[in-house]
Amino acid sequence: FSEPKGHQLAPLPVPSPWHTQANGLMKKYVPLNLYSDDTSGNVSKKWNKQILFIGTLAGLPLELANQDSYLHFLATSNTASALELAVGLVDALNDISTNGMVAYHAGFHHAVLVISCVLAHMGDSPMHAEITNTTNPSSLLNPCHMCMLIVDKTENKQTQQHIVEFVGV
């Protein structure tokens, strides 16, 4: 077995490393979507602010993905930042995507090797700005460095001309 690598074919190890690691177990690939947000019991979010991470199975239809039984609570803190809270999650997810994790499959009534990866990280604009260590795109005059969509004042982002250029119609 081989795969293209540049202009040559590189040999693939047989059996695959995952097959060896599974040691006879069935392998199940379970991609995840992560969601993080800052929540609070009040409108201003000045008091009792909590950062939370939730995981869902990627690929679920929206009507299932938003049901409580499919939302998996991963972490929360009222003192740590989102990046500080993510350190432990990243370590655990890297381990599962690199080494897999043995779990019991209720449908097959035996153990399986679960391999996972994060397909998407979801959140509102301020949370994405914090996670990616960038400024909040809603406050930028030139949020996209690939296109020439630029305004000179924040108020001009709400004009009909800017919206038409943004949507591309």
129-141 pLDDT tens trace: 777 777 666 666 6
Same domain, 101 and 48: yes
Q: Are residues 128 and 145 in the same domain?
A: no
Q: Which two tokens stand for residue 89?
A: 């999650």
Give the mean pLDDT of 153-164. Answer: 79
Mean pLDDT of the chain: 84
Residues 153 and 85 in one domain: no
153 and 110: one domain? no
pTM of the predicted structure, to 2 decimals:
0.67
In terms of domains, do 76 and 93 share one? yes
What is the model's pLDDT at position 138? 63
pLDDT by residue (tens digit) across 91-118? Answer: 999 999 999 999 999 999 999 999 999 9
The count of structural domains within the chain is 2
User: What's the gap between Cα 35 and its chain centre?
Assistant: 7
Domain containing residue 79: 2-134
Q: How are strands ordered across the β-sheet holding 110-122? A: 72-77, 50-57, 26-39, 110-122, 101-105
